[in-house]
Amino acid sequence: MQAIIKPRAAVGLELADKPKPKAGPGDVLVKVSKTGICGTDRHIYEWDAWSSGRIKPPLIAGHEFVGIVEEVGVAVKSVKPGDRVSGEGHIGCGSCFCCRTGQSHICAKVDILGVDISGCFAEYVVLPETNIWKVDPAICDDQACLFDPFGNAMHTVMAQPISGRQLLITGCGTIGLMAIGIARVGGADRIIAVDPAPVKRELAKTMGADEVLEKADEATVKKLTDRDGADVLLEMSGHPHAIVGGLRCVRNGGDVSLLGIPADGEVPIPLAEQIIFKGLTIHGINGRRMFDTWYHCESFLRRHPDLIEPVISMRLPYHQFEKGIKAMQEGTACKVVLNWNDEA
Ligand SMILES: [Zn+2]
Ligand SMILES: [Zn+2]
């Protein structure tokens, strides 16, 4: 089968011919229809500090997909050939404390599709039955292949109450933009979105932001929220200025959800002044809750297909993946969807 792989420890990804994988007794073999290129795949392409420390080439990349079940293992009960499915790319160990208490999204021994194990940038992918998600017929392939980032956005928004509250969202990449739409539909009051790029600020408005700002400025946000700051900060950028600036914009007693990952790990924060004395509640967000987040995503997408469409800026046949990564690097593309169907 054709696959997009990281062949060796160096910059780039390549098309290669790989053997079609086999489903074990508890596994599901999926014929891939569409995949999303994620920021993670871009990091793997660029072979940055994170990916070169984590990835062991050769590896098939990719973790965002939708496809049709081709074959199931003998022990599989809930899925059958022909079902249209996506899947949770974080495969928990199943036996640690977190996994056994409904928190497998933070399993310390997690295997991630396209990072630790063979991914979905291929004509076929194998996943355990427990990670398979049957897609509602009302949700089209372009949306279904993006359950993963949409779920990141959903998890971040739903980590605290947002209905009737004033939100500050820093970072309007794919996930930040999806979070704006989710918060809008979920009943948020005022939504203030922050991004330095004018294109992203325009998209933020399309997704339902009331105000867009170039940076998280304390005085402006306090004025806009008329409550001495935002009730909730959703930090999606990982940029140190956005994190610290964002915290300054949150009112006493507010909630903060942090999803964005800082490039060099450590961010100096005025802890006492901006968190302790203000009595903030901080939520670290990793992956998607299995499977609360997935059910949430399904119900939102069934009623609001428009929550994803505006962030898809490119659709390409899979063999043109490099064009998509280039556009992401240049900042001209938000989400890129690759088509793996025969006619592509
Ligand atoms: Zn992703
Ligand atoms: Zn575990």
Ligand nearest to the CA of 93: 2
Ligand nearest to the CA of 91: 2
The alpha carbon of 107 and the centre of ligand 2 are apart by a number of angstroms equal to 4
* Whether residue 239 lies in the annotated active site: no
Cα separation, 114 vs 57, in Å, equals 11
* Whether residue 170 lies in the annotated active site: no
Ligand nearest to the CA of 119: 1
Residue 344 pLDDT greater than 70, yes or no: no
Q: Is 74 helix (H, G, I), strand (E, B) or coil?
A: coil
Architecture of domain 152-284: 3-Layer(aba) Sandwich (3.40)
Cα separation, 82 vs 219, in Å, equals 56
Across the range 248-267, mean pLDDT stands at: 94
CA-based radius of gyration for the chain: 20
Catalytic residue among 43, 63, 155, 296: 43
Between strands 250-258 and 281-284, the pairing is: parallel
Across the range 153-166, mean pLDDT stands at: 98
Residue 48 pLDDT greater than 60, yes or no: yes
Q: What digits encode the pLDDT tens for the residues 275-333?
A: 999 999 999 999 999 999 999 999 999 999 899 999 999 999 999 999 999 999 999 99
The alpha carbon of 81 and the centre of ligand 1 are apart by a number of angstroms equal to 26
Percent of the chain whose predicted confidence (pLDDT) is above 90: 96
Fold type of domain 2-146+308-339: Quinone Oxidoreductase; Chain A, domain 1 (3.90.180)
Between strands 312-317 and 335-339, the pairing is: parallel
Residue 226 pLDDT greater than 90, yes or no: no
Locate all alpha helices (DSSP H) within the chain, ordered by sequence.
39-46, 49-54, 97-100, 141-144, 147-158, 174-185, 198-207, 218-225, 240-248, 271, 292-303, 321-330
pTM of the prediction?
A: 0.97
Catalytic residue among 35, 40, 156, 170: 40
Across the range 72-82, mean pLDDT stands at: 98
Cα separation, 71 vs 151, in Å, equals 26
State the chain's mean pLDDT as an integer: 97
Residue 186 pLDDT greater than 90, yes or no: yes
Span between the terminal Cα atoms of the chain, in Å? 15
The alpha carbon of 103 and the centre of ligand 2 are apart by a number of angstroms equal to 8
pLDDT computed for residue 146 by the predictor: 98
Q: How many CB atoms lie within 10 A of CB 273?
A: 11
Ligand nearest to the CA of 108: 2
Q: Label residue 264 by pLDDT band (50, 70, 90).
A: confident
Q: Domain segments of the chain: what residues?
A: 2-146+308-339, 152-284
pLDDT computed for residue 343 by the predictor: 61
The alpha carbon of 65 and the centre of ligand 1 are apart by a number of angstroms equal to 10
The alpha carbon of 160 and the centre of ligand 1 are apart by a number of angstroms equal to 22
Q: Label residue 183 by pLDDT band (50, 70, 90).
A: very high
Ligand nearest to the CA of 153: 1
Which residue type sits at 53? G
Instruction: Mention every residue, 6+ apart, whose C-beta is less than 8 A from residue 92.
Output: 98, 99, 104, 105, 107, 109, 110, 290
> CA nearest 154: which of 132, 186, 131, 130?
186
Cα separation, 187 vs 209, in Å, equals 12
pLDDT computed for residue 99 by the predictor: 97
The alpha carbon of 105 and the centre of ligand 2 are apart by a number of angstroms equal to 8
Residue 135 pLDDT greater than 90, yes or no: yes
The alpha carbon of 92 and the centre of ligand 1 are apart by a number of angstroms equal to 17
The alpha carbon of 110 and the centre of ligand 1 are apart by a number of angstroms equal to 15
